[in-house]
Amino acid sequence: MHNFKKLKIWQEGINLVSDNYRLTRTFPGIEKFGLVVQMNRCAVSIPSNISEGSSKSTDKHFNKYLEDSLGSAFEWETQLIVAYNENYLSEEIFKELEQKIIHIQKMISRFQSGLNI
């Protein structure tokens, strides 16, 4: 078992959630029940799966939750691209957030590689 609050991957995920909420608050009203909801759920899912998986008794079980977290990270990246393509954010903000999510994806993958499975 791992203390999820001490895991850098969880901390970075929590930071992304804050970035995500700041971003989606600026989206047009037409996206209130569409892209906003999707992005919020994906962002929250990243650290949520890490924390849930950390309670599992084996690294093999933990890894399954890390896979789900990584999947949510890739899904969120896709939704970020959609938002950018719809001109809901500037290129500068897009590039900044794209780098953050890619960094999180790499961190999760490296963490998985270090598990005893």
> Rounded to an integer, what distance in angstroms lies between the CA atom of residue 91 and that of residue 96?
9
Extents of the domains making up the chain: 4-113
What is the pLDDT at residue 25? 97
Q: What is the mean pLDDT, run by run of 10 residues, along the chain of 117 residues?
A: 88 98 97 96 98 90 95 98 98 98 97 86
Give the per-residue pLDDT at 1: 61
**Could you confirm whether domain 4-113 is CATH 1.20.1440.60?**
yes
3-class DSSP string for the chain: CCCHHHCHHHHHHHHHHHHHHHHHCCCCHHHCCCHHHHHHHHHHHHHHHHHHHHCCCCHHHHHHHHHHHHHHHHHHHHHHHHHHHCCCCCHHHHHHHHHHHHHHHHHHHHHHHCCCC
User: Does the global pTM surpass 0.75?
Assistant: yes
Q: Give the residue carrying structure tokens 């608050």.
A: 25
Q: Residue 13 has which token pair? A: 């995920």
